[in-house]
Amino acid sequence: MPKMPVAVLGATGTVGQKFISLLEGHPTFEVRELVASERSAGRTYGEACHWKQESPIPAALAAAVVKPTDAPLASPVLFSGLDSSVAGPLEAEYAARGHTVISNSKNHRMDATVPLVIPEINHDHLALVEQQHCAGAIVTNSNCSTMFLAMVLAPLHRAFGVELVQVTTMQAVSGAGYPGVPSLDVLGNVIPFIGGEEEKMESETQKILGTLEGDHVEPAAIRISAQCNRVAVLDGHTEAVSIKLTRRAAAEQVAEVLRNFRGLPQEAGLPSAPERPIVVLDRPDRPQPARDLWLEKGMAAVVGRIRECPVLDIKMVVMGHNTVRGTAGAAILNAETMLHKGLIAP
């Protein structure tokens, strides 16, 4: 069967590059069109892009000519790695033209009719696309730090109820894009501020864990306090999380619920789905980005140090690959889920 043609918006940026890297050899999707800003448009992708991925730039795409953002596109599905400074109106315009935009950008995440989706948790929220009243649709994935927090909270909320969450993040420099944080600012240092990050973690998690009520999502009644820090780690966001549960549970019970968590992507065997969306490690000094980042090909939330909390109920350490499951990989899994549910045509 022929593969579905897709386009990558913001193709020269770090998220766009990750889309291209992860989509190479995909069984269903094939990148046919590359879109970027005026300074890149008209040049070959190899000329326009400062490739920063672990694998080589795909040869076929290196010779492809980059299209401007106002060019008509033939691909029905567009993966958006656009910068937030331009993503809002551009994504809305593409959707109005009939494209399905699977976005990593923050601009539309909290729009009432735009699904903010982690397929293992809330694929039912994809029904919101019917409320958008345009020829196409916009679907978003969460902020990279929100991703791993929500993945862990969802099964615990279902099993025990979650009331309060305190999370402190240690976020990798790759989360700031390229060239990102100046080395003289971050080396040997911790920067205790990432603009807008704490607010995104608090509000996005509530929407993801919320309940679909017809034409909107009713946010989960969970109070979340986030403190976000940038640290001198290349890839991998680490989060220290404390949780107050509605029904008390021992650490062993919490670990068992997390180990057993599965969702639609695993049941359907979707191409990008990790076999274990949550990996629980028993060693007291794990997870570590340097050692555990690529478990489940970077598509899992990795959890360790699950123990009782003397202030709330349970505390743990959560880690995940911020540029794979936290960005492009999440969007690709969203597209696979939409295809599985018949929301985009093959």
Q: Is 144 a catalytic residue?
A: yes
Q: How far is CA 262 from the centre of its chain?
A: 17
DSSP letter string over 128-139?
Answer: GGGGS-SSSEEE
Strand (E) positions, 222-281? 223-231, 237-245, 278-280
Q: Which of 99, 108, 125, 144 is flagged as catalytic?
A: 144
Closest CA to 118 of 344, 336, 345, 271: 336
d(CA 76, CA 130): 17
d(CA 12, CA 16): 6
Q: Is 157 a catalytic residue?
A: no
- CA dihedral for 9, 10, 15, 17, sign (positive or negative): positive
- CA dihedral for 143, 144, 146, 151, sign (positive or negative): positive
Could you tell me how many residues make up the chain?
A: 346
Q: Which of 123, 125, 237, 340 is flagged as catalytic?
A: 237
Active site residues: 144, 237
